[in-house]
Structure 1
Amino acid sequence: MRVKEIEQPADYRPETPILALSEWLADPVEAARFPKHRLRFRNDRAARAVGLDHLSEAEWVAHFGRFAPLPDNLSQPLALRYHGHQFRVYNPEIGDGRGFLFAQMRDQGARLLDLGTKGSGRTPWSRAGDGRLTLKGAVREILATEMLEALGVNTSKTFSVVETGEELQRGDEPSPTRSAVLTRLSHGHIRIGTFQRLLALEEREHMAELVDYCLKQFPGPPPPEDAPGRNEPAVMLMHQAVERLADCAAGWMVAGFVHGVLNTDNMNITGESFDYGPWRFLPRWDPGFTAAYFDHAGLYAFGRQPEAVHWNCGQLAVALRLLTDAPPLIAALERFGELYVAAVGRRWCWRLGVESRGGEADGALVGASERLMAETSIQPDAFFHRHRGGRAVSDALGEALSGYEPVGDSHPYWKEDAPQSMLIEEVEAIWSAIDERDDWRPLETKIAAVRRMGEAHGTPPVPRGHA
């Protein structure tokens, strides 16, 4: 399955700054040797952005199925080391257990991007795991990343899926099940848990090196003029991370998305959403909706996601205390709430098809919309589609929209009777077609429809803190 490119072409520009940190940040590993290699998904839109869309199918499988090194890139994959809070319990025994960093390169905008894997075999951090990925898990990640990208969320891109011919045993789904290896394109793989590990080991010099790496490779604007300690590298990074992660949380909420596992090792310092497991999109507006069957307390329920991300940012502040005093870090952390509220308003207006007015006006619009969805049980995608540009509104929502200017929506998508959504019933039907009949057409059709929806939405609002 080949997803055609639509972006402007770029040259392949390998660059591997991670090697300056790799001695203490990662372990060199070998990819698993799989019995088969069948290319199932190839994202030429993403590949075109980093100059790799010219690869033949055989070359693609060699690099993203057998993991032969890309030219002038990492000579051996690196399994990254990190710790993390998992459901608020600190775990020092984690790291890249079924994935590794495979390559680094620049895109046409000179951003550093990583190619990382999922399901590529055992590493020193695998513990009792087999280092593998189910084909169903890979298909689910394709669907999650495509839908989130179309809805304007800063997300990793599913770059490649190769079916590997193994039969996997899993306790939480029918087994044996088919296996795959997935490659994702991300703007870095440095996690909050990466900093937590250095704090636990009291590696101050390495912490300073990691902060400098992040500031150089993921550049952003300086902290506000009145921010205490604004010229200290650790404080600068804290402000950037808070801005980016507040926008990430807002993106999920406006998309009606439930990530499911918001542990600190799943929080990218760039604010990029990644690593999709038991995710769901909302069938109706329900703050208590939980995606992961094992999240018995609802810690990462839909409505608690902003709280979870804020808590994780707090753990980054704790880790950065190895380099600086607490007050400037706390000042940065305290910005999260206002940044999150502003990002929700900005993104809500973008998805609803009206010009943001900011402040209390956007807050009132969001509140009126949430109340309407809760009262009517309308599915969120249907809500935004039905009222796009302020159409078909009355009562409280109409009052809240008074004074808002609609954007020009000429795309025919907005004239269709029903919107695209990504509810679990359709996800399961897409997988069933693959599992039972090896029929990939429903997945291909869905990706094309979701990308068309993304075209209709246009360019999402970019927060100040994104690189």
Structure 2
Amino acid sequence: MWSPCKVLVFALVVASSFTYVRVLEFCQSTRHDCNSEIHDNKGSKSKLSQHTVKSRWNMSVSNLIQDLDQFRVSCKKLIEAFPIDEVDGNFARSVKHCIFSKSNPTPLKDPLRLAAISKDVIEGILDLDMAVTQSDDFLHYASGGRLPLGSVPLAHRYGGHQFGYWAGQLGDGRAHSLGQYTNRKGEVWELQLKGSGKTPYSRSGDGRAVIRSSVREFLCSEAMHFLGVPTSRAASLVVSDEPVIRDQFYNGNVKTERGAVVLRLAKSWFRIGSLEILAQSGEIELLRKLLNFVIDEHFSSINSDDPDKYLVFYSTVVNETAHLIAQWMSVGFAHGVCNTDNFSLLSITIDYGPFGFMESYNPNFVPNTSDDEGRYSIGAQANVGLVNLEKLLMALSPVLSKKQHKEAKIILKGYVDIYQIRIHQLFKAKLGLLGEEEDDGYLIAFLLKMMEDTKSDFTMVFRQLSEVPAQQLHNRNFTQMWAFEDLSSHKLFSDWLSKYLLRLSRQQNNSDLDRQHRMKNVNPRYVLRNWMAESAISKAEINDFSEVELLYHILSFPFVTQETAEEASYAARPPLWAKRLKISCSS
């Protein structure tokens, strides 16, 4: 007989010991505008949540910038902190002794079209009045044709381990950082154009991105944010008729696609590979300078005078990386290319490529058809995070004493403990469990194993379990609940359900409505499934951006049952053609 505990270990990583553990408490919801459930099981709306949903989109436009000529960024801090590449020009070359190269974007060719816009980013982060996004000026600012005041465009030099092997110099081969913007809330965001042309790091590439990958990046960046997963953001997507040549599946089938640029934001774009390239090149003083900058700017809890600050920094990154990957797993997200150059030092999700949200539960789910060996399967992500943190430790070694290096190894061993604790918290919340009981891990693993055996839909099993009253569970009435019907076909389903209901019955002072409400706030009804993105891309390629816009709005409220989403079958059983979809690294 199978062991559910082994399944949990296989899919989610085993536990060990750790001395620097800092476990963040699980936050069920602090963003009521995003996570509040506004429908009961029959789809009727509550007055409170109707008001809640409207409020975010009707925010006051007072004090928002209404003229793009007043929008200003600054590159001063980055340029003054580091040496800049002494060679000028966008031609590919080996770059040494710097963090950035100056590199001007190559404007997308007219005609330009605004394919997508994030109101939440435009108003909530960039302080812009949405009206400015309808201007020709905005199209040119968001596609590389014009630069905002204060911008000195930079391309970042970094390296990375790709699919387990050191790839040497990589860098921003098709991205240009425009500068840092400090908004009215005092937040500092670094703006970047992706798909904006060649840089010194383009190697043999053309520096462009195409519509299909850009639509996916725009939608998933925003979808992940509203799921509560730390991520870069996307402000806009501009498309062009400019031809871009791509061999999508690396099979010799070259075709002409159309170019696109995403305006994206992050608090920082520094990644593990940013440090690796300096350590590998023996540029130790520059490595130290970059570390000091990252700590001073982004790790305010670390004392810059602490002789162990690099060790504390490492401990923090280990902790937060474990938390990030646990959050990926909790929503069924597979990054697709977990190379060290795609892992942020701030532990946010960056560089959306061949990602995928798992449909039928399968620890071996691989969204990237280029990943022949399944190195970055969803069930391997936690282990890959551990490997990447080992590479980070190697990069830090030149600035650590022997004692600190030894302590860092102990910290790294604690990664699996942190991960296991966090994943346990997240999945307990997905099941609506309060308190702690000895068999909770078994209950979670038992469910995942049944889902694997029955190929049940990951997202909808948890969502439908959130929506069904306990009495209906007792009665085994799962009509019109397609994912739960699939799960209930398992021969051991009754055993699991009995254990689950018994566990719920021991939760004192907790009504079934409270349980449902909690679960609905952490179990989304809508995620960006690849078939949904593909449908939107097909329309976008013929200049119909209606489904891109529809998906953006729906995925901005993933925990809320929405009539338009139901009409589009976004919570229904995936269409048969979805199984034939292939996503690759090519973009």
**Same topology, TM > 0.5:** yes
Inter-CA distance 244–360: structure 2 relative to 1 (3 Å threshold): farther
Inter-CA distance 390–250: structure 2 relative to 1 (3 Å threshold): farther
AA at the equivalent of 2:247:
G
Per the alignment, residue 123 of structure 2 pairs with: 48
Shift of 1:363: 3.2
Shift of 1:163: 0.8
Per the alignment, residue 105 of structure 2 pairs with: 31
Say yes or no: does 1:433 pair with 2:539: yes
**Distance (whole Å) between structure 2 residues aligned to residue 407 and residue 307 of structure 1:** 37
Unmatched tracts of structure 1, length 5 or more: 224-228, 457-467
Question: Are the aligned partners of 1:148 and 1:255 in contact in 2 as well (CA < 8 Å)?
Answer: no
Say yes or no: does 1:424 pair with 2:503: no
Per the alignment, residue 344 of structure 1 pairs with: 423
Inter-CA distance 109–243: structure 2 relative to 1 (3 Å threshold): farther
Residues 245-301 of structure 1: CA distance to partner in whole angstroms, max 9, x if unpaired? Answer: 111111111111111100000000000001111111112110111111111111100
Q: Which has the higher contact order (CA 8 A, sep 6+)?
A: 2
AA at the equivalent of 1:449:
I
Shift of 1:443: 2.0
Question: Are the aligned partners of 1:369 and 1:397 in contact in 2 as well (CA < 8 Å)?
Answer: no
Say yes or no: does 1:179 pair with 2:262: no
Shift of 1:408: 4.3
Say yes or no: does 1:114 pair with 2:190: yes
More divergent stretch after superposition (134-143 vs 13-22): 13-22
Per the alignment, residue 78 of structure 2 pairs with: 18
Per the alignment, residue 386 of structure 1 pairs with: 464
**Distance (whole Å) between structure 2 residues aligned to residue 359 and residue 297 of structure 1:** 38
AA at the equivalent of 1:18:
L
Indicate the SS of the match to 1:53.
Answer: coil
Indicate the SS of the match to 2:255.
Answer: coil
Residues 30-87 of structure 1: CA distance to partner in whole angstroms, max 9, x if unpaired? Answer: 111321122211212112233332261334223212353323x3x3211000110000
TM-score, structure 2 normalization: 0.69
Per the alignment, residue 49 of structure 2 pairs with: none
Inter-CA distance 138–86: structure 2 relative to 1 (3 Å threshold): same
Say yes or no: does 1:130 pair with 2:206: yes
Inter-CA distance 285–429: structure 2 relative to 1 (3 Å threshold): same
Residues 321-351 of structure 1: CA distance to partner in whole angstroms, max 9, x if unpaired? Answer: 1111311221221221121122223333444
Inter-CA distance 369–402: structure 2 relative to 1 (3 Å threshold): farther
Per the alignment, residue 464 of structure 1 pairs with: none
Per the alignment, residue 452 of structure 1 pairs with: 557
Per the alignment, residue 307 of structure 1 pairs with: 383
More divergent stretch after superposition (199-208 vs 390-399): 390-399
Question: Are the aligned partners of 1:119 and 1:182 in contact in 2 as well (CA < 8 Å)?
Answer: yes
More divergent stretch after superposition (360-369 vs 26-35): 360-369
Inter-CA distance 357–28: structure 2 relative to 1 (3 Å threshold): farther
Per the alignment, residue 16 of structure 2 pairs with: none
**Distance (whole Å) between structure 2 residues aligned to residue 230 and residue 318 of structure 1:** 21
Inter-CA distance 425–455: structure 2 relative to 1 (3 Å threshold): closer
**Distance (whole Å) between structure 2 residues aligned to residue 7 and residue 341 of structure 1:** 40
> Where do 1:14-413 residues align within 5 Å?
14-16=73-75, 17-19=77-79, 20-21=81-82, 23=84, 24-36=98-110, 37-54=112-129, 56-57=132-133, 58=135, 59-71=137-149, 73=150, 75-107=151-183, 110-172=186-248, 175-219=255-299, 221=301, 231-325=307-401, 326-352=405-431, 354=432, 357=435, 363-388=441-466, 391=469, 393=473, 394-399=497-502, 401=504, 403=506, 405=510, 408=514
Indicate the SS of the match to 1:453.
Answer: coil
Shift of 1:137: 0.7
Inter-CA distance 7–322: structure 2 relative to 1 (3 Å threshold): farther
Question: Are the aligned partners of 2:357 and 2:530 in contact in 1 as well (CA < 8 Å)?
Answer: yes
TM-score, structure 1 normalization: 0.86
Shift of 1:435: 2.4
Inter-CA distance 386–237: structure 2 relative to 1 (3 Å threshold): same
Per the alignment, residue 459 of structure 1 pairs with: none
Inter-CA distance 136–336: structure 2 relative to 1 (3 Å threshold): same
**Distance (whole Å) between structure 1 residues aligned to residue 158 and residue 466 of structure 2:** 43
**Distance (whole Å) between structure 1 residues aligned to residue 206 and residue 300 of structure 2:** 38
**Distance (whole Å) between structure 1 residues aligned to residue 242 and residue 379 of structure 2:** 38
Question: Are the aligned partners of 2:302 and 2:309 in contact in 1 as well (CA < 8 Å)?
Answer: no
Residues 83-128 of structure 1: CA distance to partner in whole angstroms, max 9, x if unpaired? Answer: 1000011011311101121121234554432112211100111011
Inter-CA distance 399–265: structure 2 relative to 1 (3 Å threshold): farther
Indicate the SS of the match to 2:311.
Answer: helix
Question: Are the aligned partners of 2:466 and 2:516 in contact in 1 as well (CA < 8 Å)?
Answer: no
**Distance (whole Å) between structure 2 residues aligned to residue 370 and residue 7 of structure 1:** 41
Residues 401-431 of structure 1: CA distance to partner in whole angstroms, max 9, x if unpaired? Answer: 55455784898x969xx93233222222222
More divergent stretch after superposition (198-207 vs 292-301): 198-207
Per the alignment, residue 463 of structure 1 pairs with: none
Per the alignment, residue 478 of structure 2 pairs with: none
AA at the equivalent of 1:308:
V
Inter-CA distance 180–214: structure 2 relative to 1 (3 Å threshold): same
More divergent stretch after superposition (376-385 vs 129-138): 376-385
Shift of 1:400: 5.1
Paired residues in the alignment total: 442
Inter-CA distance 5–362: structure 2 relative to 1 (3 Å threshold): farther
Question: Are the aligned partners of 1:356 and 1:362 in contact in 2 as well (CA < 8 Å)?
Answer: no
AA at the equivalent of 2:450:
L
Shift of 1:219: 1.9
Inter-CA distance 128–386: structure 2 relative to 1 (3 Å threshold): same
Question: Are the aligned partners of 1:13 and 1:107 in contact in 2 as well (CA < 8 Å)?
Answer: no
**Distance (whole Å) between structure 1 residues aligned to residue 164 and residue 387 of structure 2:** 9
Question: Are the aligned partners of 1:15 and 1:105 in contact in 2 as well (CA < 8 Å)?
Answer: yes
Question: Are the aligned partners of 1:146 and 1:451 in contact in 2 as well (CA < 8 Å)?
Answer: yes
Indicate the SS of the match to 1:172.
Answer: coil
**Distance (whole Å) between structure 1 residues aligned to residue 321 and residue 246 of structure 2:** 32
Indicate the SS of the match to 2:316.
Answer: helix
**Distance (whole Å) between structure 1 residues aligned to residue 264 and residue 340 of structure 2:** 19
Indicate the SS of the match to 1:261.
Answer: coil
Q: Which has the larger radius of gyration?
A: 2
Question: Are the aligned partners of 1:346 and 1:356 in contact in 2 as well (CA < 8 Å)?
Answer: no
**Distance (whole Å) between structure 1 residues aligned to residue 74 and residue 426 of structure 2:** 33
